[in-house]
Chains A and B, each alone.
Chain A
Amino acid sequence: MASTERTFIAIKPDGVQRGLIGPIITRFEQRGFKLVAIKLVTPGKEHLEKHYADLAGKPFFPGLIEYMNSGPICAMIWEGREVVKTGRILLGATNPLASAPGTIRGDYAIDVGRNVCHGSDAVESAEKEIALWFQESEIVSYKASQFDWIYEKPASSLEIHYQPPSLNIKFIPPICTASLQHHTISVAPVPSMNTFRVLKTAVTDVAATTTQPGATTARTGVLNLSKGFTLQTPNFLAPTSRGVVPHLSPDNLEKNTGVEGVFVALEDFIEKAPQRIPPLYTYPSTLRSFISLPPSTFLLLSPRRSPGITCPKANSDANLSILTSVGFRDLPVKDYVSAVIRLEPDIVLGITDVANTVSPGKNRVQKMVMRTEKWLDELLGKVYAGDDATDEKKKLPAVFAPILSLEKERQRFYLSHLVENVEKLSGLVFTATESVDVVPAELAGLPKLQSDVMGGPHQILEMVGRGVDLFNVGFVGTMTDAGIALHFTFSADDGVEGNDEGEKLELATDMWDARFATDLSPLEEGCECYTCKTHHKAYIRHCLEAKEMTAWVLLQIHNLKVVERFFGGVRGSIEEGWWEKGRRGFGRKYKRDMPVGTGLGPRLRGYQYKSVGGEGRLNEPAYRSLDSGDEDGL
C-alpha cells in the first residue's frame, strides 16, 4: 500500500508519432501520480528483446520487436499508491478493442499491435523493467507539493508484496491482565461489503429466552461476500488439500458438485521456505486462479489445514509453526498477512496461537490470547490499510476472527477486543465445540464457522442447534478415502421413538463389501448426483477392488452431494418451522456413528496425517516378488 510504489510506463512509437505523449502524461498527472523519470529513447532490438523476454517464442514476438523498434519511445517512471495496478487500469486492456472507453487504449487505439503504450503488470516486473530502462541517477526523488492533498495519511510501512522473512523479531512486552496492551492499528473503521443477515431463528422446544435471540438456537442466514458470492446458511465448506478438493479435478468440482465454498490452507503451498520463496508468492494472479477454482465457488484461506497437525516446534511471536510436505516449517505471520492481500481470498481466517499441550499453563494461555489478538490486529491492519473511498473497499476479504479453545474467562480481554472491532469482523471461527458458548452477545450477529467437523451429521445438527452457521466438513473426505458412501437425509420424518441403536439406519455404507459385486443399483436410490445417475454400486466396488482412482472420484462426488442435500434440508426445516422435529427424527432414525472402513485406499496416511510412530502399514504392498519363494505370493 506504499505511496512509493513505482511502475514503468512507456509510450510506444505509435503513441509518440501520433502526438499522444501529452494526453497520456496528463492522465497520470491528473490521477495524482508522480512522475519521477522520463526520457525519449530508441534503445534498439537487443534491449527490446530483453524487455519482452517472457514473450520470446510467441508467434507475434518478431513483429512486436519490429514495431517497438520503429521509432522513439517515451519511457517513464510513475510513483504512487498501487500505481502498478492502477496504471494498468488507466492504460486499458492489452487489446484496445476490449478496452473500456475512458482508458487510454479505449480512447486512442484499435489494433493490439498498435496499442500506444506499455505498463508493468506487477510490482516485480516493474522493478525489473525500471532497472532495465533507467539508471539510478536518472530517477528523481522529490516531494510533490500536492502529496497531502492526494493521500489521506502518511504511507503505511506495511508492504503488500512478499518480503523475504525478516530476522527482526519484535519484542513484545510480557502481558499482564491489568494493563493489556492493544495493538490496534488506528485506521478508521470502514465496514466492508461482506455482510451477514440472520433470516430466521428456529422455533425451539426449549425456551431460550434468557440468551440473545439468534445466538444459541438454529438459524438461517445469508452471507454476502464482497466479491459477489451469496451463501445461504447453515451451510458447509469442502476441505481441500493442496488446493483441490481431494479426488476432484476442478472441472469435476464445478460440473458435478454443489460445493459453494472451499477451505484452503496456505501451509499446503509452502515447501522449502524460507530457503526458497514459495512459488505461490510469485504467482502474478490470485490463489483462486492458481488452483483453477470454479468461478462460482468462494475461497476461504486459512493459515493451516483443519485440523492442524501439532508441530514439534512451538509458535513464536512472529512465526506460526506449520506442517508442509517436506516437514515442519515456520510461517512468518507477516507472510500470511501479505499473502492474504495478494491472493485475494473471499474469506480469510485470523491466526490462532494453539498451544502444543493439552492443558496449557497460565503463562501459555496468556501468550495464546495475546498473540492471537496481535496477529488478528496485524491482519485487520493490513486488510483495512490504505482503504480510501474507492471501489476497492468492496473487494475486501471477509475476516473471520478465531475464538480460542479456552474458557470464557481466560480469553475475556481478547473477546472484548473483538467486540470493539466488531465492525471489521465478518465472522468467527473456532475448532472446539464449547467455544461457541463463549461468544459474547455483541458478536452473536456474526456468522460462526466450525472449522472442523470430524464426527458426522449428528455433531453438525448439535452445533446448528447452538447457532453455528458454517461447517468445514472434514469427515466427508475421511469417509470417501475409506471407500464409504454416505446416505442420510434431513427430513420432517419424526422417526420412531425408542428405537434401539441397532435398529437404526446406517449413515453410510462401506462399498468394499463383496455383496455389491453385481449390484446394479445406484449408491443411493433417488440421488441426483452424477455418480448415482451414471454409475452403479458394482462399478464403484470394482474400482475400489481394482484400486482404480475413479472409485474415490465417484464416491467424493456422491458424498458431497449428500452433505449438500443435508444442509438444504436443515435450512428448509428452520425456514418452515420443523427444525426441532427434523432434528429429533434424525436422531431416532440414524445410528450415531459412521461405519468403520475395512478396505484399502490411496490416502489412508498421506503426509497430511500425523504419524505417531510404530504404526504398521495401512495398505498392503502393491507388488510382491515372484522370485521370493513365497508360495502364496503369486
Chain B
Amino acid sequence: MAQQKAALSFELVAKCSVTRARASTMVLPHGPVELPMFMPVATQASLKGLTPEQLESLGCRLCLNNTYHLGLKPGQATLDAVGGAHRLQSWNHNILTDSGGFQMVSLLKLAKITEEGVRFLSPHDGSPMLLTPEHSMSLQNSIGSDIMMQLDDVIATTSPDKERMVEAMHRSVRWLDRCIEAHKYPEKQNLFCIIQGGLDLDLRRECVKEMVKRDTPGIAIGGLSGGEEKAKYCAVVRTCTEMLPDMKPRYVMGVGYPEDLVVSVALGADMFDCVWPTRTARFGNAVTSRGTLNLRHASYAADFSPVDENCGCPCCRSKEDGGLGVTKAYVHHLTGKETAGAHILTMHNVYYLLDLMRNARKAIIAGTYPSFVKEFFGKIYKYDKAEYPIWAVDALKTVGIDLAEA
C-alpha cells in the first residue's frame, strides 16, 4: 500500500520502563503538542463560553471541533467563505475534527447506515440526507482541521449483534480507503484511521492489521466509551496498543474521566478527548485531585476554600499568587444562575485535565510514572485500597503496576 503523506512529525521522547506509557512530541501544522494529552471539545467552534485567549492561557494547544455541528452551523458554504474553522474562531493553535458519523448515530434516532454512508433526516427540514466518507472529508477539508478523522461505522460496543460488528469493522476499513482517496489536502491535514471491532479482541486485532497497512499519520481507537464495562475497555486498548507501531500517535476517542486517562496512558495511549469535563462544569461539578465535587450541594454554600487546593489554574490560584482566588462557595453561588459560573468551572476542569496529562508526561520522562499512578489513585481514594476500582487495579497489573503494593 502506498505511503501516506503526513502533515505531522512525531518524536518519541521517553518510554516508561514498567508500563507502556509514552511521552512524545507531535508537531502539527499549527505548532507542536506534547503527548500524552487531553483535548477539550469546542463542539461548535467555541469552548463553552471561554474565549480562545482563555483557552490558550490554560495551556491548550489542540482542541476539538465537531464536523457534524459545524456542518449544520455555520455550514460548509460559510466555512469556505470564512476560510476554515481556525479563522472562524480565531484559534491559531491546532484543531482536531471527528468525522461527523458518531453524532449522526448518537443524536439522530433515525440514522441508517448503508455501504454508501450514513442516511439521516436533516434536522433542519426533515429531508433525507446522506453522509458519505467523501462528504465527511470534504467538510473536514473545508474546516481545515489539523487532524481529521475517517468516517467509520460506529455501533455501540454493547451491541449483541456479532455479525453487524464484523460488518462494521470491515466497512470502516473500506471507508478509510474512500476517505484517503477523497482527502484533498494530505500535505496540510492529517487523516487518522479509527480502529473498530467492538469488544471482540480478535476482531480488533484484525482491524489493527488492516488499518496499520494504510499507514495514516496517526491511529485512533474508536467505538469505545459507549457504556461498556471498564475491564473490557482496558482489554481493547491494551490489545490494540500492543500491535500499534511505536512511531505513531495513538488516540483513544471519547475518554475523559481522570482515572480512565491515567490507566489508558499506562496502557500506551497518547491522546484523549471528551465533553464530560466541560459539560459537567456547567452542572456545577468540579473535577479535582480528590475526585469530582458537586458544588451545587448545599454543603459548599459556605465552603470558602479553593475548588482544588492543589490546583494551579487561574481560578484556584490565590489572589496573592496572581489567580482569582475563587472559592467553592462562590461557584456554588453562581452555578446555574450566571454563565460566568460555568466559565469559571470550565476553566478549572479543562486546566485540571490538561495539567494531569502534563504531569503524567513529566513523570514518564522522569521514569516515575508507576509512582505517579499510585499517588493519583491514593489521593482520590484517600489511600483506602479497598475503595480502588477493581478494573483499574486489574488493568494496571497487566502493565506492571500493583496498586495494592505500598
Contact = CB atoms under 8 A, between A and B. Distances in A.
Interface in A218-264: 241-252, 255-256
Contact of B329 (A247, A290, A534, A553): A290
Nearest to A276: B301
Interface string A530-568: 100011101100110110111111100000000000000
Interface stretch (A137-145, A154-162, A591-599, A626-634): A626-634
Nearest to A255: B53
A221 to B, nearest CB: 31
Given A269-B333, A279-B329, A627 B126 contact: no
B78 interface: yes
A257 to B, nearest CB: 12
A380 B126 CA distance: 66
B325 A530 contact: no
A562 to B, nearest CB: 18
Contacts of B123: 634
Contact of B54 (A251, A606, A607): A251
Nearest to B324: A292
Contact of A549 (B49, B314, B333): B49
A535 B49 contact: no
A363 interface: no
A284 interface: yes
Contact of A626 (B87, B109, B319): B109
Interface string B308-344: 0000001000010000111101101110011111111
A283 interface: yes
Interface stretch (B40-48, B367-375, B385-393): B40-48
A505 interface: no
B404 interface: no
B319 A550 contact: no
Nearest to B121: A634
Interface string B64-100: 0000010001100010011000011110000000000
A291 interface: yes
B51 interface: yes
B338 A634 contact: no
B109 A627 contact: yes
A387 to B, nearest CB: 28
B109 A545 contact: no
B302 interface: yes
A30 B51 CA distance: 56
Interface residues of A, number: 56
A279 B302 contact: yes
Given A242-B333, A538-B88, A553 B126 contact: no
B304 interface: yes
B380 interface: no
Contacts of B121: 634
A249 B343 contact: yes
Given A292-B330, A550-B51, A543 B343 contact: no
Interface in B1-57: 44-54
Contacts, number: 145
A290 B54 contact: no
A507 to B, nearest CB: 25
Contact of A283 (B54, B329, B347): B329
A242 B334 contact: yes
A548 B44 contact: yes
B53 A530 contact: yes
A367 to B, nearest CB: 34
A244 B90 contact: no
A163 interface: no
Nearest to B326: A292
Interface string A263-291: 00000010100000001001110000111
A303 to B, nearest CB: 18
B342 A534 contact: no
Contact of B74 (A295, A520, A530, A542): A542
A478 interface: no
Interface in B354-404: none
A271 B88 CA distance: 41
Given A243-B333, A603-B339, 10 more contacts: A242-B334, A243-B330, A244-B334, A246-B340, A247-B49, A290-B330, A520-B82, A543-B45, A549-B49, A602-B339
16 contacts: A242-B334, A244-B338, A246-B339, A249-B344, A269-B333, A279-B329, A291-B330, A539-B88, A545-B73, A546-B45, A549-B46, A549-B48, A549-B342, A550-B47, A550-B49, A634-B123
Interface of B: 44-54, 69, 73-74, 78, 81-82, 87-90, 108-110, 121-123, 126, 301-302, 304, 314, 319, 324-327, 329-330, 332-334, 337-344, 347
Interface of A: 241-252, 255-256, 269, 271, 279, 282-284, 289-292, 295, 325, 517-518, 520, 530, 534-536, 538-539, 542-543, 545-546, 548-554, 602-603, 606-607, 626-627, 631-634
